[in-house]
Structure 1
Amino acid sequence: MPTLVWGACLRAAWPRPELAPFPGGAFAREGIVSLCCQLGADRDAVERAVDRVLPEADLLAVDGDELRLGAAVAALPAVVVEGLRRGHHLLPALTAGAQAGDEPASVVPPYEVPTDVEPAHEAPDGYVMRSVVATLETARRPVPWGGLPMLGDPAMRSMVEQALLPCGRQLLRTADGNWVTGFCDPVVEALVDEGVGTLAAEDRAVLALVLLHTVAIPRAQGRHRHSRWTGEGHTVTLAALASNRKISKTSMRAALRRLRAAGMVAETTTGRYLPGPALDRMSEARSNLLWEDLILVGRPDGQLAAAIRRRRGLAVAVLSDGGVAESPTETDRR
């Protein structure tokens, strides 16, 4: 089903096969859904492909009711684009007036490569490298290994890393073998010192609550066995988060909106919250610091928390009742 839907999207955004398919033009969501349903597809399956499957693969970009081709299309090898050109006339087409823009749909004959032009066997390395970087930097979630097979080539991987380095970015691989980019640790330190791109105190507190409920507590109960923050599907409701009386429900709702926009928190269709895809962009060192923060918050008077404080050079104040006073964690200082 996603293949049919993407074929219709590709034809709608790319009416002239002699041109490059990316970025293409915008087209209407309802036109694609109606076309696929007319071809016998199940409407729920079509909508699922449009709203979730294709955007997650970066083959489609969604902006309300307007759709465009995703950044992954820019990374298609030249031989794939050439094959799509040859079969362009077979792609399902919207009827006249159903697609966005002034140009109506038309019957396009089979594309033929001019006799004086050599067929492209492979794209230049520079083009492939830029396409890979564009795909990784615009992807909301880690890109599966199969989505960027060119990164299996050490030479291409080195080119991508060298291209990212002047921007302060680095190529990262998740525990699942997927690809993602993130800031280099020295750049993170510099941005934090300047207060650039950091979360407000209230947003950090709400993020800590989400991680406690969806990661730390399930992990302590033996239900979270994945090393990634987004590796399990444990969720928490707004009502459970609001049981923390230090933050009002209104402020918490506003903080969750900001965290969702930043990709730090995601929301399911049932109104439950879980860690967001931006956490996958952290390096292993930054991820370990966040794990330590949860220890400092969850069990501040434990031996492990004391060892973390000593290593970080944090002062520990002992209260009159023998407890440990709250001290700023790594997340708080950022």
Structure 2
Amino acid sequence: MKRQKADDGPVAHVRARSGGPLRLGAGVAAPSGMLRLTHPDSTGQALPVWPDGVTPSILDEYQVTPIAVERSGETRRVLAAVLKCCWSDLSVDPWPGGPAPVELVLDTYRALIGRSDDLMRNWAVGALRRLHDSSWIVMDDGVVVLGPRCALWPVESHAQLQELVRRLPEPERPELTVVADADIVAAAETTPDLASGLGGRVEGGAAEFGDLLGGYDERRRAELVAAFMVVEYAAEPVQEARFAALRDPALRHTLGEMLARRGRTLVQHRERWTSGYDDSTSTALARQTPDDDAASDVAAPAPDDGDLPVGGGEGGSAGMRLGVSERAVLTLVLVHSVAIPRAEGLLPEDSWLSPHPTPVDELRRHTQLPIGELEAALRALRHAGLLGQVKAGEEAGGYVPGPQFHRLTPAARRRLQEELILAAGPNTPLAAAVRARRSAK
């Protein structure tokens, strides 16, 4: 019997990049270029795989800065603690592993760093939240399991991971008087949100770039794969002169075809290149999953997700669809850090990055969001690379647009410019002209 197949093509990859691993129904195959993680109930998840087995660590070889992870040191150490707690049988692959209590993970992290203060715990809890948001772990109701992204660890790295787990210290864990660890784990195995992801197997998907790369020799194939990984995962646009696949027009054309199969396109900044969402693919996705533009209830009208380079890389966010709060907060930062300075002649017309931070007090004054919701939105936007935090003393600092704005295509830049006009001056003649032009289409 032939298995049913999920939606294939660029839109599937854009969905995975902007919203995290794709959920697959029972018997639904993964799209081309993705792995299928099959759960015991035959449902699954699909994750994009890297070409030729190359991982984003290739950026280190080229001394290219990857997309930053907030508090990366704590995040790596907490992930190591999760791995030790969840990968109890080192004779099998690390994913899917088994469930472990969050408190056991925190105790393992405490033993690893040799600290037990409240600040340490806050750091660890924040790292757990970031790892959950980016699908490296799944955390629910005091229990954690390895997330789907752990299934992407190359087999060649398993020996190194085993050695890491062996070297991590065992926590000094007192006997619990309320609920024992084993009872917590047993309860987790009956929790629907976690139980559906416990156990499973990895299934390879259909090849994606074989026809494009097969005609090249080993050297040029490696150059294409390296350029693909760099433009997709570097924090900033990279110099054309450093990569043969960006310098050579023929190779650059093939690179563009590789990106197009994932709903992506090359974006040029003079002699530098990065990648961004292809306009036609992101528009198609936006039409399939329209969002209610309710941001006006809490702030000015917000830009649509299709205008934003959301979901920038594997190192940090798994991708995200912006909610009402995130879009409202992002709009306020763009208005105060970009639109107003540009109107005052302090920024060039085509720049979406700004040296003018929006203070948190300014955000609090211009939004009806509760403080906790505002802080959560700022945290999510930082994690996605859409905002950067500037710290310059006790009284200065604030938030500026993040590095993902490099990834806007010219068309997306124009759309976002129009959205800012509508947000900053909805009753101006320029805003009326924007609305008239849109209604005439």
TM-score of the superposition, structure 1-length normalised?
0.57
Larger radius of gyration: 1
Matches within 5 A, 1:1-334: 56=65, 63-64=72-73, 124-148=219-243, 150-174=245-269, 176-195=270-289, 197-225=320-348, 227-230=350-353, 232-270=354-392, 271-313=397-439
The one-letter amino acid paired with 2:352 is: W
Aligned residues: 215
Q: Alignment partner of 1:128: what SS?
A: helix
Task: State whether residues 203 and 259 of structure 1, in contact with CA within 8 Å, keep that contact through their aligned partners in structure 2.
Answer: yes
Shift of 1:206: 0.5
In the alignment, is the contact (CA less than 8 A) between 2:386 and 2:404 conserved in 1? yes
For 2:229 and 2:430, the matched residues in 1 are separated by 41
Q: Is contact 2:387-2:401 (8 Å) kept?
A: yes
Deviation for aligned residue 1:269: 3.4
Report SS of the residue matched to 1:247.
coil
What stretches of structure 2 of length at least 5 have no aligned partner?
1-53, 78-162, 166-216, 290-304, 306-319
What one-letter code is carried by the residue in structure 1 that aligns with 2:324? A
What CA distance in whole angstroms lies between the structure 1 residues aligned with 2:221 and 2:244?
16
Q: Determine the C-alpha separation between the residues in 2 that align with 1:188 and 1:296.
A: 21
Deviation, 1:150, is 4.1
- CA distances 1:93-142 after superposition (whole Å, capped 9, x unpaired): xxxxxxx969xxxxxxxxxxxxxxxxxxx962111101110111111222
Unpaired segments of 5 or more residues in structure 1? 1-21, 26-49, 68-99, 103-121, 315-334
Sort the Cα spacing of 1:273 and 1:245 in 2 relative to 1 into closer, same or farther, 3 A. Answer: closer
Identical-residue share of aligned pairs (%): 31
Take 1:261 and 1:305, find their aligned partners in 2: how far apart are those partners?
Answer: 32
User: Retained in 1: the 8 A contact 2:66–2:233?
Assistant: no
Structure 1 CA distance, aligned partners of 2:263 and 2:336? 33
Deviations 1:138-162 (A, max 9, x none): 1122223344354121112111111
**Alignment deviations for residues 287-309 of structure 1 (CA, whole Å, 9 cap, x no partner):** 11111111111111122111111
C-alpha contact 1:210 1:236 (8 A) present in aligned 2: yes
Aligned to 1:109: none
C-alpha displacement of 1:252: 1.4
- Shift of the 206–137 alpha-carbon distance from structure 1 to 2, 3 Å rule, reads same
Residues 76-103 of structure 1 deviation map (CA, whole Å, 9 limit, x = unaligned): xxxxxxxxxxxxxxxxxxxxxxxx969x
Closer/same/farther in 2, CA of residues 62 and 274 from structure 1, 3 Å limit: closer
Q: Give yes or no for contact 2:56–2:233 (8 Å, CA) kept in 1.
A: no
Return closer, same or farther for 1:149/1:24 CA change in 2, 3 Å cut-off.
Answer: closer
Q: 1 CA distance for matches of 2:56 and 2:414? A: 41
Contact 2:245–2:255 at 8 Å: present in 1 too?
no
One-letter code aligned to 1:167 = R
